[in-house]
Amino acid sequence: MTEETKLIEEAKAGRGEAFGKLYDQYVASIYRFVLVRVSNRAEAEDLTQHVFLKAWQSIRRYREREGIPFTSWLYRIARNAVIDHYRTRRDHEDIEGAAARNLAEDFPVQEVEYTLQIEEVHRAFVVLTPGERDVILLRFMEELSVKEVAAILEKSEGTIRVMQHRGLKKLKGELGAGN
């Protein structure tokens, strides 16, 4: 039994300290995932807290044996929280615009400076479909496997590979191969 599995079982038994350790382990990744999709840091912080509150409330229903890793389960909750946020907010700003604006904030400035201008990243990222954007962010920013991304987005691994290929091809075309 892994350390994570032990913590999950303890959290299911109602031990808040165990869930706190899970929180500490995953909060930064979930926050980054949410931040790229919403328009500001305060909203991202609120939604991240909402994700972990929802996870705590429903952890007893989590079943690792069903083939869904705990991280995938958390990302799925986060994705649904962002969708609900935009549904209830009724703001006309689209998710794509917010994600594109916040993408550059999430990359370390030193890395972006020597490869691309921030504006180029914004423009390039907007050409992706929401699904392609999710795949690219999860695969390369969060460094998740194709299998994990497929579980989070509830799609087949083949579909994830196709979306990744198409997204990278669009980004390459938008950014230019020589830049």
Model pLDDT, residue 96: 54
DSSP-derived 3-state class of residue 93: coil
Question: What pTM was computed for the model?
Answer: 0.68
Q: Which fold has domain 1-91?
A: Rna Polymerase Sigma Factor; Chain: A (1.10.1740)
What are the boundaries of each domain within the chain? 1-91, 94-179
Model pLDDT, residue 83: 87
Model pLDDT, residue 112: 43
Model pLDDT, residue 118: 52
Question: According to CATH, what is the number of the domain 94-179?
Answer: 1.10.10.10
Helices 95-106, 118-126: crossing angle, 10 deg rounding: 150
Q: State how far the alpha carbon of 8 is from the alpha carbons of 16, 21, 77, in Å.
A: 11, 10, 16
Model pLDDT, residue 99: 61
Model pLDDT, residue 101: 57
Q: Taking the chain (179 residues) in consecutive chunks of 10 residues, what is each chunk's mean pLDDT? A: 89 94 95 84 94 95 80 92 83 55 54 50 78 89 89 93 94 71
